[in-house]
Amino acid sequence: MLEGFVRVAAAAPRVRVADCAHNAGEIRRLMERAARERVSFLCLPELCLTGCTCGDLFRQETLLRAARTALGALVRASAAHNLLVAAGLPLALGDKLYNAAAVFARGRLLGFVPKTHLPNYCEFYELRHFSPAPAGIGTVDFDGQAVPFGAPLLFACEELPAFRLAVELCEDLWTPSPPSVRHALAGATVLANLSAGDETVGKAAYRRALVAGQSARLICGYVYAGAGRGESTTDTVFSGHQLICENGVTLAEAPPFADGWALSEIDLPALLHDRRRMNTFSADAAAGSYVTVSFSLDTSPPNLTRAVDPRPFVPADTQERGARCEEILTMQAAGLATRLAHTNARAAVVGVSGGLDSCLALLAATRAAGSLTPPPDILPVTMPCFGTTARTNQNARRLCASLGLTCREIDISESVRRHLRDIDHPADARDVVYENAQARVRTLVLMDLANQAGGLVVGTGDLSELALGWTTYNGDHMSMYGVNAGVPKTLVRHIVRHVADTCGDASLSEVLRDILATPVSPELLPPENGVISQQTEALVGPYDLHDFFLYHTVRWGRAPRDILALAGTAFAGVYTPDEIRAWLRVFLRSFFAQQFKRSCLPDGPKIGSVTLSPRGDWRMPSDAVCAAWLADLETDPDPTPSP
């Protein structure tokens, strides 16, 4: 079961201007829909109880009294639902009138949040009717209940402490200093915006960017409810644009002039993880002025409606993926070019196997050399041994030829045999010594060739291999600059495919496609009938799964049981729950046991948000124990969300 996700919805009732009874009925229907769909928080638009286009009718006592009556009926109706609601209305207090949000749940009115910034420009004349929010917190007598009133209000869920709601209204977000900034620094994880902005050309795109950007800046969930159908169109049109964003990502949207309903789940543990990680996200000095109002909800984990990306490192959109691949290759080349120039290297030596990783490293090295004046030499070397197949050997040569490079071949078979004899290793023992000896001899050859050429060795190992420790210590584990160290295996494949699709060279494209079609293998055991006998994913597990595990472990600090549940959703129909659990167990054991290899990694460029450099984002003791993680994995017998 997935814990810590809260389902939210943004919706716009079909209003009738100044008809509070009708509007309350429409809101009640939305509340009933939200309850049926197991929504925990429903955000409704600004002034939705009256309509936002009432104009000078806001000064009419009849309208104000009708709005209070309608709100009272909605609060009482909420007793039947497991739901927190925020709805807008005009609220008269003494000689002031406020544009306010009422927040209520389970038959209890929790608080009123008045609007802070009132627009009085262009088509907006709010200061004609309303007063800005006063400083601090007061109380309002509502049906005999003293209800908190003020902008610095936090609404905290007793059953799910990570769910802390704060509210701002429409223009508040568009100002240089939105109240939501203070709300978030005071601890709010979910921000609600009750809005009634009209629609103009280009405004929806700006609004979308604004809401997503604010959710990123504040590391929060942001629920935006815009007024829609039924508002007066005397001079303006309202579109019912609804948005739910989380940490810069739009989770759900009801586009302008659609049905006005958006629903998704906000990942509260992920938000808290990022806030803890970023030491610049610090509590505001004004946080002490906030008043926290508690409420109670059944927050049983919902079945996710939001997508869980099975390949979080790889953009699903084709155009975005191509741009990402080009950006990464440029970053790799830039990092290597700087290192080549700094060390006055006359050459970049690359061990080329005919596989994906060495292919990408060679592509990056070629691009790096081309950016320098004079360009250093690129010296590709292929070193066939016991497990090398004709296919990979030929592809290594074809790749170099297509790039205009001369590939040097050094058969290391006899060197490895001699080494094994020197250490009295049985010739027929196909064990780890037999395999690793080949990797270490290859590294020895590359290092000495780099010395001969006055250059450096370009490492080929990728991020996924480093996570699993699928690399020979002081063999392919070592280089003088690891260009692939920040690139996960699932993305390596797409970068190579991107080059194949865009290079404009038929011979290069052809060999790249054959490399892509070759099974991933270290080729350290003899082939069977000329075919690769040692396939990496059959031994350590599918890289799709391992990259998913890596992303959620390192980027979000998730517990294994939550990763298991997310993977069950992401890979439903692809891997069985038992397969996911088994490979996650392999990942955890390998990740912990192999940290010693990552503790002494060569330099290499950080590419994305997940990196395992001991000098950068990931500093883990090499003798850390994974017992607690394995135990957590066994606590949930079902890696799928509850219905």
Which residues are part of the catalytic machinery?
46, 115, 170
Nearest residue to 549 (alpha-carbon basis) of 442, 464, 630? 464
Q: CB burial class (10 A; 0-12, 13-18, 19+) of residue 503?
A: middle
User: Which two structure tokens, joined as six digits, stand for 133?
Assistant: 């929010």
Task: Yes or no: say if 1 and 563 are a contact pair by the CB < 8 Å rule.
Answer: no
- In the numeric block, the tokens 């590294």 are attached to 443
Instruction: Give the strand pairing for 221-226 and 242-246.
Output: antiparallel
Is the dihedral angle over the CA atoms 52, 53, 55, 57 positive or is it negative? negative
Is the dihedral angle over the CA atoms 307, 313, 318, 320 positive or is it negative? positive
Task: Yes or no: say if 576 and 560 are a contact pair by the CB < 8 Å rule.
Answer: no
CA atoms of 618 and 279, how far apart (whole Å): 16
Instruction: Give the strand pairing for 96-105 and 108-114.
Output: antiparallel
3-state SS, residue 14:
coil
Nearest residue to 270 (alpha-carbon basis) of 188, 158, 162, 191? 162
DSSP letters along 302-315, please?
A: PPP-S---S-TTS-
3-state SS, residue 480:
coil
Nearest residue to 82 (alpha-carbon basis) of 45, 108, 48? 108
CA atoms of 497 and 508, how far apart (whole Å): 11
User: Which two structure tokens, joined as six digits, stand for 628?
Assistant: 């607690």
CA atoms of 619 and 459, how far apart (whole Å): 21
* DSSP code for 531: B
